[in-house]
Structure 1
Amino acid sequence: MTEQFKKDVYTGLNTPNKRLPSKYFYDKKGDALFVEIMNLPEYYLTRAEMDIFENQTDDIIKALQISPDCYFELIELGAGDGSKTKKLLQMLHQQGFKFDYFPVDISQNALDNLEADLKTELPGVSVIKKQGDYFEILASLKEIKKLKVILFLGSNIGNMPDEVATQFIYDLGSNLHPGDKLLLGADLIKPASIVLPAYNDSKGVTAAFNYNLLARINRELEADFDITNFRHEPEYTEQDGIAKSFLVSQADQTVCIKSIGQSFDFKKGERIETEVSRKYNDEVIHKIISETDFKISYKLSDGKKYFANYILERT
């Protein structure tokens, strides 16, 4: 992990438009901050998807077209705290479905916390946690030719440019068999007045979440970022449907990262892109999956039409 972290930071800070991968938000402190973000009044995404999982759980199960008599593997990519998934797990367990739940996450801390919660809340559910790269884990499970239902929730697909999202879903399909399902969470395109506050809350928690990325580089890669010399700045336009977050240098400065053995210069006003969050409609989703082995079989939306869960089937 450390070597890949160093490589990604080195590559991202050596590009003309500096960027840092958002996956590195999630260490122990980042996990806790994101849980706090999900509970903020401005952060509609979690509530909107939770609305679907709380009020349409039966519809999800029916749309997945799984039989209580047929064993399947329920694999969640980027499981986090599993708050929404618990609603589905509870209903599946109550209705007597035969399955194992495989939460997959880059954060071992998140997996350990989720496993502990499920042992208390849903002790009858089989949990097999997997820490690491999504595709390596899926490849290791591919040889077990059992029905697979993949969960990729929270609009995590939105962290990728459309062409990367297409490749990601294509690669998912290459690790699955015909008939396997993908439940894909997608934040829908909506006005900036709704979207921007979700990435720039009044309490400054989202800003702290971004600053923690620099603090993590300081801690783990022996860097000397002065975090007070950076300002968190999001942007979004409804026409583009893409929200971005940046950390903006407040002065001309040089940052040394000892473990990489290099210093990086920042001009005043220069930005580091830390997150991209794509918003979707049916047209965009259809375009993304048009070159993959998936087809849309069902769509569910929350009451405000802020969010959608698309059920895709591997053909």
Structure 2
Amino acid sequence: MTKELTTLTPLAEDVFEGLQADNKYLPSKYFYDARGDELFQQIMHLEEYYLTRKELEIFQTHKQAILEAINGAEPFRIIELGAGDGLKTKVLLKHFMEAKVDFTYTPVDISGNVLEILKSNLKAEIPGLKIEPYEGDYFDALAEIAESPEKDIVFFLGSNVGNFSEKEAVGFLTKLQEFLKEGDLLFMGVDLKKDPAIILNAYNDEHGVTREFNLNLLDRINVELEANFDRNQFLHYPYYNPHTGECRSYLISKVEQAVTIMDEEIHFNAWEAIFMEISKKYDQKQLKELATAAGFIPQKTFFDSDNWFADLLWLKEK
């Protein structure tokens, strides 16, 4: 028996679809409830999680070069997809304000909680900043915003593109560029291939914060969908494949068990896995191929001092 999906909330629909699949999975977008937001803030400050630190270094080091590459001589709008707490973006926003360029900042996030905190903080920290938050889906936001006459620069930072497989990334970026006008830009953070041990440690920290981040989704399902997951019966298991550049995270059932969700029973075999998240790393050849496949022309690349991370400026093809 399978749950009738047409009568369910989006969370319930996606959970049942994922857990009733032959290879079980849960969409990573549901990590971000209030507790998930809090845990991810902790992850970003972990010693092992170098991604935030390296992208922040790029912004601090190259902020003027980034502004020049964007061409701040004309009014523009920054549309940041998945804005989060804006920790890194603030570096650029402050610099752009100091340079007296004419721009509007539109942070887009699925979490209204995050957007409220971000708006409040930015108003206090950067007086005079024009900010127009948008809560919801990326493409819903782009459909409403991208028709504005000013130049748009879409920020997609933090290696969020790594949450897609390569095929999914091409599809996502191709769809994204279809919302852009001629002359619009994509400014995208990408994690690069490096020592596999460094990569794996970023998703398997010694304090167990990333483990807690994954298990929190089971807690959310328990609360919102009247489920009875026992988090102690699941193992957090990440692994990195240096050939594909994919770091994949799983929760693995330690025992044979049945979990009830909204009166529906989901069976788990012992050592059966739930795929939770992908974090893909790229090399330069793959990035050039990705740009071409998605309809962008690479303009400029900014690196941190170790060449672990890159921020790419791509132009929409005519």
Using the size of structure 1 for normalisation, the TM-score is: 0.96
> For residues 197 and 277 of structure 2, what CA distance do their matches in structure 1 show?
19
> For residues 242 and 217 of structure 2, what CA distance do their matches in structure 1 show?
27
* 1:40 counterpart (20, 43, 46): 46
Q: Which runs of 5+ in 2 are unaligned?
A: 1-7
Which residue of structure 1 lines up, in the alignment, with residue 250 of structure 2?
246
Structure 1 residue 237: deviation in Å?
Answer: 2.4
Which residue of structure 2 lines up, in the alignment, with residue 86 of structure 1?
90
Structure 1 residue 144: deviation in Å?
Answer: 1.5
- Contact kept, 8 Å, 2:146 with 2:152, in 1: the verdict is no
Structure 2 residue 89 is the aligned partner of structure 1 residue 75: no
Runs of 4+ in 1 over 4 A off after TM superposition: none
- What residue identity is the alignment partner of 1:277? S
Indicate the SS of the match to 1:56: helix
Structure 2 residue 43 is the aligned partner of structure 1 residue 49: no
Q: Which runs of 5+ in 1 are unaligned?
A: none
Structure 1 residue 238: deviation in Å?
Answer: 1.7
Which residue of structure 2 lines up, in the alignment, with residue 228 of structure 1?
232
> For residues 295 and 315 of structure 2, what CA distance do their matches in structure 1 show?
8
Indicate the SS of the match to 1:291: helix
Indicate the SS of the match to 1:126: coil
Using the size of structure 2 for normalisation, the TM-score is: 0.95
Indicate the SS of the match to 1:138: helix
> For residues 212 and 133 of structure 2, what CA distance do their matches in structure 1 show?
28
Indicate the SS of the match to 2:223: helix
Structure 1 residue 269: deviation in Å?
Answer: 0.6
> For residues 287 and 223 of structure 2, what CA distance do their matches in structure 1 show?
39
> For residues 263 and 32 of structure 1, what CA distance do their matches in structure 2 show?
30
Quote the RMSD (CA, aligned, Å). Answer: 1.0
Structure 2 residue 306 is the aligned partner of structure 1 residue 304: yes
Indicate the SS of the match to 1:83: coil
Query: Structure 1 residues 48 and 241 mapped into 2: Cα distance closer, same or farther (>3 Å)?
Result: same
Indicate the SS of the match to 1:313: strand
Indicate the SS of the match to 2:84: coil
> For residues 24 and 267 of structure 1, what CA distance do their matches in structure 2 show?
24
- Contact kept, 8 Å, 2:185 with 2:315, in 1: the verdict is yes
- What residue identity is the alignment partner of 2:291? I
- Contact kept, 8 Å, 2:192 with 2:281, in 1: the verdict is yes
- Contact kept, 8 Å, 1:163 with 1:288, in 2: the verdict is no
Deviations 1:230-255 (A, max 9, x none): 01110002222110111010100011
Indicate the SS of the match to 2:142: helix
Which residue of structure 2 lines up, in the alignment, with residue 112 of structure 1?
116
Indicate the SS of the match to 2:30: helix
- What residue identity is the alignment partner of 1:61? L
* 1:9 counterpart (10, 15, 18): 15
How many residues are treated as equivalent by the alignment?
310
- What residue identity is the alignment partner of 1:78? G
Which residue of structure 2 lines up, in the alignment, with residue 28 of structure 1?
34
> For residues 279 and 191 of structure 1, what CA distance do their matches in structure 2 show?
11
Indicate the SS of the match to 1:127: coil
> For residues 141 and 33 of structure 2, what CA distance do their matches in structure 1 show?
20
Which residue of structure 1 lines up, in the alignment, with residue 207 of structure 2?
203
